[in-house]
Amino acid sequence: MIKSHSTWIKNIILVLLGNTLYALAVTTFILPNGLITGGTAGLALVFYHQFGVPVSAFVLAFNIAMFIVGAIILGRSFALTTLISTFYFPFILGIFENITMLQNITDDRLLSAIYTGIIIGVSIGIVIKAGASTGGMDIPPLVLNKKLGISVSVSLYVFDSLILLSQMLFANKEQVLYGILLVMIYTVILDKVLIFGKSRMQVKIISDKYDEINQSILQHLDRGSTLIHSETGYRHDKRLVVLTIVSNRELPKLNNLVLSIDPQAFMIINQVNEVKGRGFTMEKSYE
């Protein structure tokens, strides 16, 4: 119960931090330099330039509307995880908009686009890793996924593209190019944040000395292993392949260990995004 409570508090802090960083990027780089972007912030810029609606006011109204839609279609658990973002983001955005110092960081649009992409990518990643949503334009793709089976990433890219195109009403060609760059950067950064600290190396070892290698992995690396039955394609020799998962830091040690036993060993190394189970997300068991 204590662990569950502490996890809940930690997730709330992460959601607040992520939304704060997002609002900081909007007020520090996007608005002062006339950048355009996708998502709720991009849609808010359209209404700001075309109808004079304050960005924070539009974001609040839109987030509430999307929150209601999400709560009805996606359920109560979704509503609870998104509630904080729905109201906190426009609140902190409104505060940052009134801090003049934040609007005089740089006049360089390229620099602003790069930093905005990095900050937004990190901020969205933090919120998603906390098991929540930033609300707003995150919700329509989730609804379409549930009702029509459309991929979330595909519909999100489509919405972002349409929002960028709509901003051509007030933006010039150069701004559109900066907007595309910004969206590309935060998409890449978002993917990196989501797998940060979770990626591992999957190693398959083919060797006649598989038993000795397997025992060395268990004893010297304290990692588990799996023996896979295989057959060579040329001579049809049957042998066992050692499969193990290690961290990036353990990979050089594993490589040296295998080669010290069999310099002719054949190793296949792949990076995997996430590993769940004992020794990684659960405590090790030696029974």
Q: Residue 186's pLDDT is what?
A: 81
Q: Residue 77's pLDDT is what?
A: 66
Crossing angle (nearest 10°) for helices 76-97 and 55-74: 180
Q: Residue 66's pLDDT is what?
A: 85
Q: Which residue, chain included where needed, has tokens 């993917």? A: 191
**What architecture does CATH give domain 200-272?**
2-Layer Sandwich (3.30)
pLDDT class of 229 with cuts at 50, 70, 90: very high
- Chain centroid, CA 6 distance in Å: 23
Q: Residue 214's pLDDT is what?
A: 92
Q: Residue 30's pLDDT is what?
A: 87
Q: Is the pLDDT of residue 255 over 50?
A: yes
Q: State mean pLDDT over 148-172.
A: 77
Q: State mean pLDDT over 152-165.
A: 77
Beta strands in the chain (DSSP E): 200-206, 225-231, 238-246, 266-272
pLDDT class of 280 with cuts at 50, 70, 90: low
Residue 245's beta-bridge partner residues?
202
Classify residue 197 by burial, with Cβ atoms within 10 Å: 0-12, 13-18, 19+: exposed
Q: Is the pLDDT of residue 86 over 70?
A: yes
Q: What is the pTM of this model?
A: 0.69
Q: Which residue, chain included where needed, has tokens 């937004």? A: 120
Query: Chain-wide mean pLDDT for the chain?
Result: 82
- Rounded Cα distance between 54 and 67, Å, is 20
3-class SS string, 139-198: HHHHHHHHHHCCCHHHHHHHHHHHHHHHHHHCCCHHHHHHHHHHHHHHHHHHHHHHHCCC
φ, ψ for residue 7 (rounded to 5)? -65, -40
Q: Is the pLDDT of residue 140 over 60?
A: yes
- Chain centroid, CA 246 distance in Å: 22
pLDDT class of 3 with cuts at 50, 70, 90: very low
- Rounded Cα distance between 206 and 87, Å, is 55
pLDDT in tens, 48-78: 888 888 887 888 888 888 888 888 887 776 6
- Rounded Cα distance between 144 and 141, Å, is 5
Q: State mean pLDDT over 213-234.
A: 88
Q: Residue 1's pLDDT is what?
A: 45
Give me the residue spans of the domains in the chain: 2-195, 200-272
**Three-state SS at 108:** coil
pLDDT higher for 120 or 160? Answer: 120
